[in-house]
Chains A and B, each alone.
Chain A
């Protein structure tokens, strides 16, 4: 039986790593992967609380998140590919046409 705080701490670290990746990486693919990290950190939390509270809701919710995340990554990668085709780069810093 893994203790809850340990799991939460792990999830928090994972989430923070994801946040860092989202904010710091220039490569769009890596940004998408960091988002996956954050989503999975949340999933870990959901599952941990589900186990802790002895309720299945959290696990169900985690399954939904996985499904949504799959769709999100699918669309995200498609966008990245299109950007690459148009601009020959996937550096997010350079994709800044929508601004003042």
Chain B
């Protein structure tokens, strides 16, 4: 740790000195533990009792406790932002660091991520029991948790990007966990590529910001200060904000990139709960919240774009949730819709951000609860289709009651968490954002309606599936009960009547006076009950033909998901992919094969040349020497005539020659 900075008001400074700060200073442990557990599970998992699940559960459990410690000390310190870090690498003048930035957002997100992750880790023991890649599942689960926590505590944009991308990879791996079925692996690819469409602008947003600061820093806090100080032109800030929002659109499944999330339900249900409901999809919202300075100091139209995108998403996805038969897809569209709420409300400024994070906080718990509940149901019935369920409240009482609590929270029934956070959203929008307010109210009715439909079709009436469903094991019902508890109580933290502790924790700089506006609360309850009543009226009795089909063309439109997938397929993917494939094929055939064949041909020719040279020149020299010796020897052998007198003649001739030579000398 090269630098540790405490940033706070003056009265907080006095506070700080007195209170030990161990947990906050060691927030990085929260990230490190799941990472270590991922490595341990990978290398030792299969040889460990429990096939590796113990590492993940222990590590995330400790992380959860540490996160509680962080939040506790953070509150003790009166909300002092703590930052420390190390140098990571340097490019030119740009010093990229890695470290921890602990403020209210971080502290709360740590709790959310570790709590949900812990629940999912425990739940997966039962759900994934007997899976052939059980250990690998836990490896990726732990790695994902580490990556998400890294995003949460990152104090540098590049560090954040690192975690962001690892999350994407883990999401891809887990959606395609059962890759033997082609639809699962293609869903993974779709999720990965669709979020990538958003990640590219996000990356360029980072580049724009770093370049705008003159390649001085990529530290989030410093960039925030630079932007807040008005040192950058508003145009550049706006561009950066829009680009960054692109990343949030992709990751948080906002319109028009929401198409990957419903398909991501192909993954195991615990994954859907952890990644595609509670944490990773919330990362986009977190990103906007973390870099909110940039959005606030951009041109006003940027926040309007945020609001419009969120508004379209919340209502559009909510309507899609009406027509789904797959229980996980209902929840997926519900997630998209709720994320739309969070994104849209941030368009009204800092108050909206607080409300958005409160909703993120409560939504993480009740949506994880709903997903795990649906997983429990799927585990029992071996189908995702609600038309093959029904009447499950008797054989599965724990699942039923916890699911009912989650569903009521989603529908916005007081006093559950969803009511309080949705109420904050409506209060925020009610002050001068009429369009948004109306959209939110409509979405709330739709939400209550499809939630009711889902609960009735799954748990009431007669069982329509095969076999005899039974309650899930304790490892699955335990997390359900824990999350149900959180769903009941989490809302009170930010609730008006009992004091807004949540807002005190998260945003000390500007403690918002969160009041319970009576008419908004009444309206909120009213629309929730209206939606539930409508849902009950329509779905009271099981009908083979879904009553929603009587909507006619509207139903067709919804059934086809507004034809967005078709538009993407025919309008973007095919026109790009087919020529691209042809071009790649062509270049493969002509250029690459040509190069390969050419190289082979060249090698052949040169080999022939070398062969000929070897044969003729080198062997020629060797054989030639031999032949020459043989030939001259053949000539000379005739001297060996066997005639003694001729030998004597040579002898005397030689003597005479020698005599002459030596005489000369």
Chain A residues in the interface with B (C-beta under 8 A): 19, 22-24, 31, 92-93, 95-100
Contacts and interface: CB of A to CB of B under 8 A. Distances in A.
Interface stretch (B175-183, B295-303, B635-643): B635-643
Contact of A98 (B642, B645, B649, B652): B642
Nearest to B637: A100
Contacts, number: 31
Contacts of A95: 642, 644
B648 interface: yes
> Which 3 residue pairs of A and B lie closest in terms of their CB atoms, listed nearest first?
A99-B642, A96-B642, A100-B637
A23 B652 contact: yes
Contact of B644 (A24, A92, A100): A92
B641 A96 contact: yes
B642 A23 contact: no
Which of the four size classes fits the interface of chain B? 10 to 19
Nearest to A35: B648
Nearest to B641: A99
Contact of A93 (B637, B638, B640, B643): B643
A93 B642 CA distance: 9
B429 to A, nearest CB: 122
A98 B643 CA distance: 8
Contacts of B644: 92, 95-96
24 contacts: A19-B652, A22-B645, A23-B645, A23-B648, A23-B649, A23-B652, A24-B645, A31-B645, A92-B645, A93-B643, A93-B645, A95-B642, A95-B644, A96-B641, A96-B642, A96-B643, A97-B642, A98-B642, A99-B642, A99-B643, A100-B637, A100-B638, A100-B640, A100-B642
Contacts of A100: 637-638, 640-642
Nearest to A28: B644
A90 to B, nearest CB: 12
Contacts of B643: 92-93, 96, 99
Contacts of B641: 96, 99-100
Given A23-B645, A23-B652, 20 more contacts: A23-B648, A23-B649, A31-B645, A92-B643, A92-B644, A92-B645, A93-B643, A93-B645, A95-B642, A96-B641, A96-B642, A96-B644, A97-B642, A98-B642, A99-B640, A99-B642, A100-B637, A100-B638, A100-B640, A100-B642
A23 B652 CA distance: 10
Nearest to B634: A100
Contacts of B649: 23
Contacts of A96: 641-644
